[in-house]
Amino acid sequence: MASGFFALLDDIAALMDDVAAMSKITTKKTAGILGDDLAVNAEKASGFVASRELPVLWAITKGSFFNKLIILPVAFLLSAFLPWAVTVILVLGGLYLAYEGAEKIYEYFVPHAHNTAIKLKENLTEEEILLAEKSKIKSAIVTDFILSVEIVIIALGTVVGQDLLFQILVVSIVAIIATIGVYGIVAVIVRMDDFGHKLIALSKDGKGVLAAIGRFFVNALPIVIRSLSVIGTIALLLVAGGIFVHNLAFLHHFLESIPSFIRDFVVGLGFGAVVLVLVMGVKWGFKTVKGSKGESHNRP
């Protein structure tokens, strides 16, 4: 009896060692999309009154955990009963990531007008502030859902073929690490300028070492967010390219002579450009049809 109990403990320990090792590998594979997730959420969690930034971020974090509670069971059911669907969703997600990355590059080189955001009044009532917060939180949670699907599917793609329990443990650990890690770093980023202002306030007449460090943090915040946006865009294309190369047979030996990260970037950008052209073509077609209908209605 005792020997059986200790053998069970030994099996559990071995399983957890394997889970820990695979979780580390899987987290690395999802690191690319986490960069974009971090950049997006840092932007969405900023711009509030200092006292409301952390409550808003906590609301988004809870929404992110709820998203994963929805996504994880569905992903595990697909893995158990329709394993081929995981690859299909992975490739479709790769197309979305590639499109998003290519679109960001296109907008940088070919800037175009966006819908102008409605300017809020300077003196908002408490009800209006809460309404604005609620709208931004909802937008952030929807974006998080899309990115969470990709994180979970990419993580699941690395353990397809393993036992279901092993898949559940690894992917769940990665999902928790992703949520805590991303929103923990976002919390530090959005409070960076407030920390800087406090250091300046503690200094004598805004001079000295504390003031210099404070100004550094205040000035660094917009640079950090812009840098994360650039890194996130590159990461999107690298992740997408890696998905295509590893899951599409005709790309397995594509550009094998060059470093893999360059190959993944080229493949991701290529697919992204194709999807971008198709999307722009569809939008132009709808716009043309809508315009022609409007002209026909205006004719006497």
Chain center to CA of 38 = 6
What distance in Å separates the CA atoms of residue 144 and residue 139, rounded to the nearest whole number? 9
pLDDT for res 222 = 81
CB 102 within 8 A of CB 275: yes
> Predicted confidence band at 299 (pLDDT cuts at 50, 70, 90)?
low
203: left (phi over 0), alpha (psi -120 to 50) or beta: beta
Which residue, among 134, 157, 152, 167, has the nearest Cα to 63 in the 3D structure? Answer: 134
pLDDT for res 282 = 92
Averaged pLDDT for residues 169-198:
83
Bridge partner list, 207: 204
Distance linking the first and last C-alpha atoms of the chain: 94
Q: Could you give the dihedral angle defined by the CA atoms of residues 36, 38, 39 and 45, in that order, rounded to the nearest 10 degrees?
A: 140
Mean pLDDT of all residues in the chain?
Answer: 76
| Whether pLDDT at 270 is above 90 | yes
CB 244 within 8 A of CB 267: yes
> Predicted confidence band at 5 (pLDDT cuts at 50, 70, 90)?
very low
Phi, psi of 109 (to 5 degrees): -85, -30
| Whether pLDDT at 31 is above 60 | no
3-class DSSP assignment, residue 204: strand
Amino acid found at 88: V
Q: Could you give the dihedral angle defined by the CA atoms of residues 18, 22, 23 and 25, in that order, rounded to the nearest 10 degrees?
A: 150
> Predicted confidence band at 29 (pLDDT cuts at 50, 70, 90)?
low
Please give the structure tokens belonging to residue 13. Answer: 């320990």
pLDDT for res 33 = 60
What distance in Å separates the CA atoms of residue 6 and residue 223, rounded to the nearest whole number? 55
Averaged pLDDT for residues 150-179:
81
Averaged pLDDT for residues 51-61:
79
pLDDT for res 2 = 43
pLDDT in tens, 72-92: 998 888 888 888 888 888 888
pLDDT for res 105 = 92
What distance in Å separates the CA atoms of residue 262 and residue 244, rounded to the nearest whole number? 14
CB 38 within 8 A of CB 185: yes
pLDDT for res 15 = 43
| Whether pLDDT at 48 is above 50 | yes
pLDDT for res 263 = 92
Best mean pLDDT range from 3-12, 97-106, 135-144, 195-204: 97-106
| Whether pLDDT at 119 is above 50 | no
pTM, two decimals, is: 0.69
Phi, psi of 204 (to 5 degrees): -90, 115
Least trusted range by pLDDT, from 29-33, 61-65, 145-149, 166-170: 29-33
pLDDT for res 277 = 95
pLDDT for res 43 = 62
CB 236 within 8 A of CB 36: yes
* 248 against 53, higher pLDDT: 248
